[in-house]
Amino acid sequence: MPSSPVPPGPDSSAVAPPAPVVLIAGVTGGIGAALARRLSAAGASVAGYARDADKLARLRTELPALLTLTADATQPAQVEAAVVATIAHFGRLDGYVHAVGSILIKAAHQTRPEEWLRVLDLNLNSAFYGLRAALGPMQTQNAGSIVLISSAAAQAGLPAHEAIAAAKGGIEGLVRAAAASYAPRNIRVNAVAPGLVDTPLAAPLLASEASRAFSEKMHPLGRIGRPEQVASLIAWLLTPDADWVTGQIYSIDGGLAHLRPRPKV
Protein backbone atom coordinates (compact mmCIF):
# COMPACT_ATOMS: atom_id res chain seq x y z
CA MET A 1 0.00 0.00 0.00
CA PRO A 2 1.57 3.29 -1.01
CA SER A 3 2.36 5.63 1.81
CA SER A 4 0.53 8.94 2.11
CA PRO A 5 2.38 11.87 0.56
CA VAL A 6 4.31 13.95 3.03
CA PRO A 7 3.32 17.63 2.97
CA PRO A 8 6.15 19.74 1.69
CA GLY A 9 8.08 21.64 4.30
CA PRO A 10 9.03 25.28 4.06
CA ASP A 11 11.07 26.13 1.00
CA SER A 12 14.45 27.10 2.33
CA SER A 13 15.27 28.73 -1.00
CA ALA A 14 12.28 31.09 -0.82
CA VAL A 15 13.11 34.67 -0.01
CA ALA A 16 11.00 36.28 2.72
CA PRO A 17 9.22 39.46 1.66
CA PRO A 18 11.06 42.57 2.79
CA ALA A 19 9.80 44.44 5.81
CA PRO A 20 7.40 47.24 4.85
CA VAL A 21 8.77 50.77 4.88
CA VAL A 22 6.52 53.38 6.49
CA LEU A 23 7.08 57.12 6.88
CA ILE A 24 5.17 58.83 9.71
CA ALA A 25 4.66 62.59 9.74
CA GLY A 26 4.33 63.97 13.24
CA VAL A 27 6.11 60.95 14.67
CA THR A 28 6.76 62.61 18.05
CA GLY A 29 3.06 63.23 18.73
CA GLY A 30 0.89 60.89 20.75
CA ILE A 31 -0.59 58.95 17.84
CA GLY A 32 2.54 59.14 15.67
CA ALA A 33 4.80 57.79 18.43
CA ALA A 34 2.33 55.03 19.33
CA LEU A 35 2.25 53.98 15.69
CA ALA A 36 6.05 54.03 15.42
CA ARG A 37 6.28 51.72 18.44
CA ARG A 38 3.65 49.34 17.07
CA LEU A 39 5.12 49.13 13.57
CA SER A 40 8.67 48.75 14.88
CA ALA A 41 7.60 45.92 17.17
CA ALA A 42 5.98 44.21 14.18
CA GLY A 43 9.24 44.34 12.22
CA ALA A 44 8.52 47.24 9.86
CA SER A 45 11.19 49.68 8.75
CA VAL A 46 10.00 53.01 10.11
CA ALA A 47 10.99 56.59 9.40
CA GLY A 48 9.43 59.64 10.96
CA TYR A 49 9.66 63.39 10.74
CA ALA A 50 8.76 66.25 13.06
CA ARG A 51 9.91 69.77 13.80
CA ASP A 52 11.36 69.26 17.29
CA ALA A 53 14.84 67.74 17.09
CA ASP A 54 14.97 67.12 20.86
CA LYS A 55 11.76 65.09 20.83
CA LEU A 56 13.03 63.14 17.83
CA ALA A 57 16.25 62.34 19.69
CA ARG A 58 14.32 61.06 22.73
CA LEU A 59 12.14 58.85 20.55
CA ARG A 60 15.22 57.55 18.73
CA THR A 61 16.67 56.53 22.10
CA GLU A 62 13.57 54.41 22.67
CA LEU A 63 13.46 53.09 19.09
CA PRO A 64 17.08 52.87 17.87
CA ALA A 65 16.14 51.56 14.42
CA LEU A 66 13.84 54.51 13.75
CA LEU A 67 15.05 56.85 11.01
CA THR A 68 14.36 60.32 12.40
CA LEU A 69 14.14 63.37 10.16
CA THR A 70 13.70 67.01 11.09
CA ALA A 71 11.07 68.63 8.89
CA ASP A 72 8.15 71.03 9.11
CA ALA A 73 4.97 69.47 7.69
CA THR A 74 3.75 72.88 6.52
CA GLN A 75 6.78 73.34 4.26
CA PRO A 76 6.39 71.33 1.02
CA ALA A 77 10.11 71.25 0.19
CA GLN A 78 10.95 69.84 3.64
CA VAL A 79 8.24 67.19 3.33
CA GLU A 80 9.56 66.13 -0.08
CA ALA A 81 13.08 65.98 1.35
CA ALA A 82 11.85 63.66 4.12
CA VAL A 83 10.38 61.30 1.51
CA VAL A 84 13.60 61.37 -0.50
CA ALA A 85 15.68 60.67 2.63
CA THR A 86 13.43 57.73 3.56
CA ILE A 87 13.84 56.15 0.14
CA ALA A 88 17.59 56.80 0.14
CA HIS A 89 17.85 54.95 3.46
CA PHE A 90 15.41 52.07 2.94
CA GLY A 91 15.14 51.82 -0.84
CA ARG A 92 11.39 52.38 -1.21
CA LEU A 93 8.23 53.68 0.48
CA ASP A 94 5.28 51.37 1.16
CA GLY A 95 3.22 53.44 3.57
CA TYR A 96 2.78 57.07 4.53
CA VAL A 97 0.86 58.23 7.61
CA HIS A 98 0.13 61.89 8.25
CA ALA A 99 -0.24 62.21 12.02
CA VAL A 100 -0.01 66.01 12.09
CA GLY A 101 -2.72 68.31 13.37
CA SER A 102 -3.93 70.86 15.87
CA ILE A 103 -6.90 71.68 18.07
CA LEU A 104 -8.73 75.01 18.19
CA ILE A 105 -11.90 75.25 20.27
CA LYS A 106 -13.38 78.60 19.26
CA ALA A 107 -16.64 79.68 17.66
CA ALA A 108 -16.39 81.39 14.29
CA HIS A 109 -16.89 84.93 15.62
CA GLN A 110 -14.08 84.37 18.15
CA THR A 111 -11.62 82.94 15.62
CA ARG A 112 -9.13 85.43 14.23
CA PRO A 113 -8.31 85.13 10.51
CA GLU A 114 -4.72 84.19 11.31
CA GLU A 115 -5.95 81.39 13.59
CA TRP A 116 -8.24 80.09 10.84
CA LEU A 117 -5.37 80.05 8.34
CA ARG A 118 -3.03 78.36 10.81
CA VAL A 119 -5.53 75.56 11.44
CA LEU A 120 -5.93 75.01 7.71
CA ASP A 121 -2.16 75.04 7.24
CA LEU A 122 -1.39 72.58 10.05
CA ASN A 123 -4.17 70.18 9.15
CA LEU A 124 -5.38 70.35 5.55
CA ASN A 125 -2.44 71.91 3.72
CA SER A 126 0.17 69.76 5.45
CA ALA A 127 -1.87 66.62 4.68
CA PHE A 128 -1.92 67.56 0.99
CA TYR A 129 1.83 68.17 0.96
CA GLY A 130 2.47 64.77 2.56
CA LEU A 131 0.09 62.96 0.24
CA ARG A 132 1.59 64.63 -2.82
CA ALA A 133 5.16 63.81 -1.81
CA ALA A 134 4.38 60.16 -1.06
CA LEU A 135 2.55 59.66 -4.35
CA GLY A 136 5.71 60.14 -6.42
CA PRO A 137 7.56 56.98 -5.36
CA MET A 138 4.35 55.01 -4.89
CA GLN A 139 3.35 55.63 -8.50
CA THR A 140 6.74 54.34 -9.59
CA GLN A 141 6.19 51.22 -7.46
CA ASN A 142 2.54 50.84 -8.52
CA ALA A 143 1.71 50.21 -4.88
CA GLY A 144 1.33 52.00 -1.59
CA SER A 145 -0.94 52.88 1.31
CA ILE A 146 -1.56 56.40 2.59
CA VAL A 147 -3.44 57.14 5.80
CA LEU A 148 -4.50 60.64 6.82
CA ILE A 149 -6.13 61.68 10.10
CA SER A 150 -9.51 63.38 10.17
CA SER A 151 -11.63 63.97 13.27
CA ALA A 152 -15.07 63.31 14.69
CA ALA A 153 -15.45 67.10 14.46
CA ALA A 154 -15.69 66.78 10.66
CA GLN A 155 -18.63 64.39 10.96
CA ALA A 156 -20.66 65.79 13.85
CA GLY A 157 -21.79 69.35 14.45
CA LEU A 158 -19.76 70.17 17.55
CA PRO A 159 -20.01 73.74 18.87
CA ALA A 160 -16.88 75.92 18.69
CA HIS A 161 -15.17 73.53 16.25
CA GLU A 162 -15.67 75.50 13.03
CA ALA A 163 -12.02 75.80 11.97
CA ILE A 164 -10.98 72.24 12.77
CA ALA A 165 -14.21 70.83 11.30
CA ALA A 166 -13.55 72.66 8.04
CA ALA A 167 -9.92 71.53 7.89
CA LYS A 168 -10.66 67.91 8.70
CA GLY A 169 -13.67 67.91 6.38
CA GLY A 170 -11.30 68.98 3.64
CA ILE A 171 -9.07 66.01 4.48
CA GLU A 172 -12.00 63.64 4.06
CA GLY A 173 -12.75 65.07 0.62
CA LEU A 174 -9.08 64.83 -0.26
CA VAL A 175 -9.01 61.16 0.75
CA ARG A 176 -11.96 60.21 -1.43
CA ALA A 177 -10.75 62.10 -4.49
CA ALA A 178 -7.17 60.85 -4.22
CA ALA A 179 -8.38 57.28 -3.65
CA ALA A 180 -10.32 57.49 -6.92
CA SER A 181 -7.41 59.05 -8.79
CA TYR A 182 -4.76 56.53 -7.73
CA ALA A 183 -6.69 53.27 -7.37
CA PRO A 184 -5.61 52.28 -10.92
CA ARG A 185 -2.00 52.51 -9.66
CA ASN A 186 -2.78 50.22 -6.71
CA ILE A 187 -2.32 53.08 -4.24
CA ARG A 188 -4.82 53.08 -1.39
CA VAL A 189 -5.82 56.27 0.44
CA ASN A 190 -7.83 56.16 3.66
CA ALA A 191 -8.31 58.12 6.86
CA VAL A 192 -9.16 57.56 10.48
CA ALA A 193 -11.39 60.00 12.37
CA PRO A 194 -10.73 59.91 16.13
CA GLY A 195 -12.67 61.52 18.90
CA LEU A 196 -10.73 63.06 21.77
CA VAL A 197 -7.57 61.02 22.37
CA ASP A 198 -5.37 61.25 25.47
CA THR A 199 -2.29 62.77 23.85
CA PRO A 200 -0.05 65.75 24.67
CA LEU A 201 -2.01 67.78 22.09
CA ALA A 202 -5.25 67.19 24.00
CA ALA A 203 -3.70 67.71 27.44
CA PRO A 204 -5.11 71.25 27.93
CA LEU A 205 -8.63 69.88 27.38
CA LEU A 206 -8.10 67.20 30.03
CA ALA A 207 -6.16 69.23 32.58
CA SER A 208 -8.74 69.12 35.38
CA GLU A 209 -10.98 66.40 36.72
CA ALA A 210 -14.03 68.43 35.69
CA SER A 211 -12.84 68.94 32.10
CA ARG A 212 -11.92 65.27 31.76
CA ALA A 213 -15.29 64.17 33.10
CA PHE A 214 -17.07 66.51 30.69
CA SER A 215 -15.05 65.19 27.75
CA GLU A 216 -15.71 61.60 28.73
CA LYS A 217 -19.46 62.23 28.85
CA MET A 218 -19.37 63.59 25.30
CA HIS A 219 -18.44 60.11 24.08
CA PRO A 220 -21.21 57.52 24.26
CA LEU A 221 -18.77 54.87 25.50
CA GLY A 222 -17.95 57.20 28.38
CA ARG A 223 -14.19 57.36 28.03
CA ILE A 224 -11.35 59.11 26.21
CA GLY A 225 -9.48 57.25 23.50
CA ARG A 226 -5.90 56.06 23.79
CA PRO A 227 -3.30 56.71 21.08
CA GLU A 228 -2.53 52.99 20.91
CA GLN A 229 -6.11 52.30 19.84
CA VAL A 230 -5.88 54.72 16.93
CA ALA A 231 -2.44 53.37 16.02
CA SER A 232 -3.86 49.87 15.87
CA LEU A 233 -6.44 50.87 13.25
CA ILE A 234 -3.87 52.79 11.20
CA ALA A 235 -1.46 49.85 11.33
CA TRP A 236 -4.17 47.55 9.95
CA LEU A 237 -4.85 49.93 7.06
CA LEU A 238 -1.18 49.64 6.10
CA THR A 239 -1.21 45.83 5.94
CA PRO A 240 -2.08 43.45 3.10
CA ASP A 241 -5.18 42.50 5.11
CA ALA A 242 -6.60 45.88 4.09
CA ASP A 243 -5.49 45.77 0.46
CA TRP A 244 -9.10 45.92 -0.81
CA VAL A 245 -9.88 49.04 1.24
CA THR A 246 -9.57 52.53 -0.21
CA GLY A 247 -11.39 55.85 -0.03
CA GLN A 248 -12.74 55.12 3.46
CA ILE A 249 -13.01 57.23 6.60
CA TYR A 250 -12.93 55.07 9.72
CA SER A 251 -14.50 56.54 12.85
CA ILE A 252 -12.71 55.59 16.05
CA ASP A 253 -14.35 57.94 18.50
CA GLY A 254 -16.26 56.08 21.20
CA GLY A 255 -19.44 56.72 19.24
CA LEU A 256 -19.12 60.52 19.36
CA ALA A 257 -19.88 61.34 15.73
CA HIS A 258 -22.73 58.96 14.97
CA LEU A 259 -24.46 57.85 18.18
CA ARG A 260 -26.96 59.63 20.38
CA PRO A 261 -27.33 57.47 23.48
CA ARG A 262 -30.53 57.47 25.48
CA PRO A 263 -30.32 60.14 28.21
CA LYS A 264 -29.95 58.81 31.73
CA VAL A 265 -33.13 59.20 33.73
Tens digit of each residue's pLDDT (9 = 90 or more) over 76-105: 999 999 999 999 999 999 999 999 999 999
Predicted pLDDT at 78: 99
User: Which has more pLDDT, 231 or 212?
Assistant: 231
d(CA 133, CA 83): 7
Assigned CATH topology for domain 21-197+226-252: Rossmann fold (3.40.50)
Three-state secondary structure of the chain? CCCCCCCCCCCCCCCCCCCCEEEEECCCCHHHHHHHHHHHHCCCEEEEEECCHHHHHHHHHHCCCCEEEECCCCCHHHHHHHHHHHHHHHCCCCEEEECCCCCCCECHHHCCHHHHHHHHHHHHHHHHHHHHHHHHHHHHHCCEEEEEECCHHHCCCCCCEHHHHHHHHHHHHHHHHHHHHHHHHCEEEEEEEECCECCHHHHHHHCCHHHHHHHHHHCCCCCCECHHHHHHHHHHHHCHHHCCCCCCEEEECCCCCCCCCCCCC
The model's pLDDT over 126-146, given as tens digits with 9 standing for 90+, comes to 999 999 999 999 999 999 999
At 129 the pLDDT is: 99
Angle at 120 between CA 174 and CA 147, to 5 degrees: 40
Give me the pLDDT at residue 3, please. Answer: 43
CA 171, CA 150: separation in Å to the nearest integer? 6
User: Closest by alpha carbon to 218, among 171, 160, 179?
Assistant: 160
Across the range 193-213, mean pLDDT stands at 88
User: Roughly what angle, to the nearest 10 degrees, separates helices 126-141 and 162-182?
Assistant: 10
| 60, pLDDT greater than 90 | yes
Contact 152, 164 (CB under 8 A): no
- Residue 2 pLDDT exceeds 70: no
Which region, left, alpha or beta, applies to residue 10 given φ > 0 means left and ψ of -120 to 50 means alpha? beta
pLDDT at 265: 57
**CA–CA dist 146, 134 (Å, integer):** 8
Burial (CB count within 10 angstroms: exposed 0-12, middle 13-18, buried 19+), residue 126: buried
pLDDT, mean over the chain: 92
**What pLDDT is recorded for position 17?**
65
Reported as a pLDDT band with limits 50, 70 and 90, residue 14 is low
Q: Tell me the backbone φ, ψ of residue 225, rounded to 5 degrees.
A: -75, 160
Q: What percent of the chain has pLDDT over 90?
A: 78
Q: How far apart are CA 144 and CA 86, in angstroms?
A: 14
